[in-house]
């Protein structure tokens, strides 16, 4: 099935849009962005254009479709499930919303200026009318002034609608920010998740290659954590992980990047820090964690952690090399007694 959309065709062909077209366009864009954000559809240009045509088609044909029916229409039209389940950054969607927001604010500014000009013209007509003695001319001026008042009211209503749309877009931007945060944050600890960590590591690696900006990497693993889950249950295990997350946030600098990269595995990027300094940071974290007590009913639970440290240098050909070195050192710490730092 081929989805046809007259408004989309006009845009593609560069035809002039009417005020009604712009109104419909803004509403379709809002619906598309909201749908893509809620359903976590990859915000690629291709996906955005396809879903725009779907929503435009639905609107032009006055269809009232459920989410499942919309998806069926999409699959029937494009014969693919691409982009329906993958979780990706909402950067592109947010950018489009930002552009739409700025465009509407510009329209509001222009409409407000237009209203001011109409008011000034109306005031001048009223002044002239006071000086005119001809009843015929006064009747004409009276009708013109009524038209002016009507234009002002129409303009005010238009501005009110635009203001409502900016409020809706603000809500959408808040939702997009939440979606991006959820896509980047580990729900249990509040730290970055593995996906976000790997992307950030790539960025630091590129900065080093381009500007020579140094950084070090710490990999950390809680010792014997399976025993904690087996002995106390997963709820207590989750509490331990949450408190470890709090320790990392409280004992690291604001510019450091801690992340939960696995079950009981954590990683930390330390910008501008040498391996020697990173080992000192890891040692301090090791001591804090080993002394920390987690309350379990009427008793207390202690855990320890092992650390592996690596530092970026010119011999590192890709970020994975840095991870492998830190992981090798972490394994050495585990193998030689645990609750220690190896770098």
Q: What is the pLDDT of residue 24?
A: 87
**Percent of residues in the chain assigned helix, strand, coil, to nearest 5:** 65, 10, 25
Asked whether residue 257 is assigned to any structural domain, the reply reads yes
Statement to judge: residues 211 and 122 lie in one domain: no
Residue 85 lies in a domain: no
Pair 234, 208 in one domain: yes
Residues 122 and 254 in one domain: no
Is the pTM of the predicted complex or chain greater than 0.85?
no
Give yes or no: residues 137 and 73 share one domain.
no
- Is 86 part of any domain? no
Select from 121, 156, 184 the last residue of a domain. Answer: 184
Residue 269 pLDDT: 96
Residue 156's contacts (CB-CB under 8 Å, 6 or more residues apart) are 115
Can you give the pLDDT at residue 82? 44
Contacts of residue 173, defined as CB under 8 A and 6 or more positions apart, other chains included, come to 94, 97, 98, 101
pLDDT values of the chain reduced to their tens digit, one per residue, 343 residues: 678 888 888 888 888 888 888 888 888 888 888 888 777 675 556 677 888 889 999 999 888 888 778 887 887 787 544 443 334 445 555 566 666 666 666 767 776 776 777 677 666 666 666 665 556 566 666 667 676 666 767 777 777 777 777 777 777 667 666 665 666 788 899 899 998 899 889 989 988 988 889 999 999 999 999 999 999 999 999 999 999 999 999 999 989 999 999 999 999 999 999 999 999 999 999 999 999 999 888 888 999 999 999 999 999 989 999 999 999 999 999 999 999 999 9
Give me the phi and psi of 233, to 5 degrees please. 100, 165
Say what the pLDDT of residue 274 is.
95
| Cβ-count burial 294-332 (b if 16+ within 10 Å, e if not) | bebeeeebebbbbbbbbbbeeebeebeebbebbbebbee
* 165 and 222 housed in the same domain: no
| Domain interval for residue 60 | 6-78
User: Does residue 156 sit in the same domain as residue 256?
Assistant: no
Q: Do 298 and 267 share a structural domain? A: yes
- Is 61 inside a domain boundary? yes
Does residue 84 fall inside a structural domain?
no
Residue where the block lists tokens 């396809």: 50
264 catalytic residue (yes or no): yes
User: Domain with 289 in it: what CATH number?
Assistant: 3.30.70.270
Residue 124 lies in a domain: yes
- Give the number of domains in the chain: 3
Residues 109, 177: one domain?
yes
Domain check: are 138 and 205 in the same one? no
pLDDT at 47: 73
β-sheet bridge partners, residue 300: 295
Three-state DSSP state, 121: helix
Tell me, yes or no, whether 212 lies in a domain. yes
**Among residues 38, 30, 31, which one has the least CA distance to residue 175?**
38
- Decide if 278 is inside a domain: yes
Could you say which of 160, 184, 208 is where a domain stops?
Answer: 184
Same domain, 277 and 228: yes
Strand partners, 217: 269, 310
Residue 331 and residue 248 share a domain: yes
Domain-ending residue, one of 133, 155, 184: 184
225 and 331 share one domain: yes
The one catalytic residue among 243, 264, 311, 325: 264
């Amino acid at each position: 099935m081929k989805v046809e959309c007259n408004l989309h065709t006009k845009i593609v062909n560069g035809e002039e849009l009417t005020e009604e077209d712009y109104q419909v366009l803004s509403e379709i864009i809002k619906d598309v962005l909201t749908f893509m954000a809620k359903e976590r559809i990859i915000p690629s240009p291709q996906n955005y254009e396809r879903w725009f045509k779907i929503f435009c088609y639905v609107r032009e044909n006055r269809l009232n479709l459920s989410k499942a029916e919309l998806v069926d229409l999409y699959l029937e039209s494009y014969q693919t499930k691409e982009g329906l389940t993958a979780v990706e950054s909402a950067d592109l969607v947010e950018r489009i919303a930002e552009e739409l927001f700025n465009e509407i604010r510009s329209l509001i500014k222009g409409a407000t200026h237009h209203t001011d000009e109409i008011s000034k013209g109306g005031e001048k007509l009223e002044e002239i009318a006071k000086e005119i003695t001809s009843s015929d001319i006064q009747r004409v001026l009276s009708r013109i002034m009524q038209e002016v008042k009507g234009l002002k009211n129409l303009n005010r209503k238009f501005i009110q609608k635009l203001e409502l749309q900016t409020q809706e877009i603000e809500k959408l931007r808040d939702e997009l920010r939440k979606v991006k945060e959820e896509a980047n944050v580990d729900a249990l600890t509040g730290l970055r998740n593995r996906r976000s960590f790997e992307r950030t590591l790539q960025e630091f690696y590129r900065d080093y290659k381009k500007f020579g900006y140094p950084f070090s990497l710490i990999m950390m693993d809680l010792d014997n954590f399976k025993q904690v889950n087996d002995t106390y249950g997963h709820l207590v295990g989750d509490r331990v992980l949450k408190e470890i997350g709090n320790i990392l946030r409280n004992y690291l600098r604001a510019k450091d990047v801690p992340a939960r990269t696995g079950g009981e595995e954590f990683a930390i990027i330390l910008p501008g820090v040498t391996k020697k300094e990173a080992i000192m940071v890891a040692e301090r974290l090791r001591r804090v964690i080993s002394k920390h007590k987690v309350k379990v009913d009427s008793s207390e639970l202690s855990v320890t952690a092992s650390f592996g440290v690596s530092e970026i240098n010119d011999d590192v050909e890709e970020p994975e090399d840095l991870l492998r070195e830190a992981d090798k050192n972490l394994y050495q710490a585990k193998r030689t007694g645990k609750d220690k730092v190896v770098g």
